[in-house]
Amino acid sequence: MHRTYQTTIPHRPEMIGLIRTAFERGVTFFDTAEAYGPHECERILGEAIESFRDKVVITSKFGWNIDLETGERRPGLNSRPEHIKLAVEGSLKRLRTDRVDLLYQHRVDPQVPIEDVAGAIKDLMDQGKVLHWGLSEMGLSTLRRAHAAVPLTAVQSEYSMLWRGPEQDVLPICEELGIGFVPWSPLGVGFLTGAIDARTRFAEGDIRGVEGRFAPENLPHNLALVELLKSWAERKQATRAQIALAWLMVQKPWIVPIPGTTQVGHLLDNVGAGAVRFTPDEIAELNDAVRAIQVQGQRLPDAVLVYSGVEAPAKS
């Protein structure tokens, strides 16, 4: 539920049931944000897990410029310290909890020094309202500065066979500093499951319809990844989604993918990825095959990509 391509929020009772089924199947790490809905996904998660709150880890996010009362989306970002603290109070209320286990800055605010953000987080930690914190889609200098100010637990960025950008710089820094990595969209916005083919046309409002990697001139080439996954799925008696998730988990032991879904069947499929095993030779072979496929097309539209890799201003 953390990133949906529908134009409406899924039906609440169905999603509550889905979350509870996930917990029954051993899932204990749930990711949400004030921006999802906005606010509604936090409410759904809070209701779903209330009876077993102490047995799960909740992550949420702040940082978009969202009205604290109405949930109205406003232009740009807002990581002013006073806003962060009020945003967290709202998240706690919607999540029906007294603490957020892991709180991310959803995107770096180019108007607020990361040291000021870290200071607000430290205050919340001292109050027991936030236990750990992280960043998402940040610039590399900001990553180091944030960790120096208040040690980070995790970084969240897009990472999958379809987008391997973090391998160049982000993952090495995480390994150096001892920071966990949480890939969002680990199934390539559904692409790696085989649900998209050369004939696919996306509904109005579906962001994939304006992503260059899914444009008609690029999609046929990029489908080589899906064919690669199909061959490995047959070889391992698994599904393409399971191979894609298992591939991520063997890259580093501190990588924890967060596939989102609104369907029980897909949930069970994703959970099954933990049973897929690769020998060292197999993972080397698969890595070589993935690297040989050069994905064509930009991963996000310019209007969205402008918020990634941003560096926070220096503290005066």
Residue 159 is a catalytic residue: no
Nearest to 305 by CA among 167, 210, 222: 210
- 5, 36, 104, 159: the catalytic one is 36
Rounded to the nearest 10°, the torsion over CA 178, 259, 3, 216 is: 110
- Distant-in-sequence, close-in-space partners of 287: CB < 8 Å, separation ≥ 6: none
Check if the beta carbon of residue 128 is closer than 8 Å to that of residue 99.
yes
Tally of CB atoms within 10 A around 82: 9
Distance from C-alpha of 239 to C-alpha of 186, rounded to nearest angstrom:
14
Tally of CB atoms within 10 A around 36: 22
Sign of CA dihedral 271, 33, 112, 137: positive
Q: Hey, what amino acid is at 305?
A: L
Q: Hey, what amino acid is at 173?
A: I
Q: To 5 degrees, how large is the angle CA 272–CA 282–CA 175?
A: 80
Distance from C-alpha of 185 to C-alpha of 166, rounded to nearest angstrom:
13
DSSP string covering 154-208, please? EEEEE-SSS--GGGTTHHHHHHHHT-EEEEESTTTTTGGGT---TT--PPTT-GG
Tally of CB atoms within 10 A around 50: 12
Distance from C-alpha of 240 to C-alpha of 122, rounded to nearest angstrom:
41
Residues belonging to the active site: 36
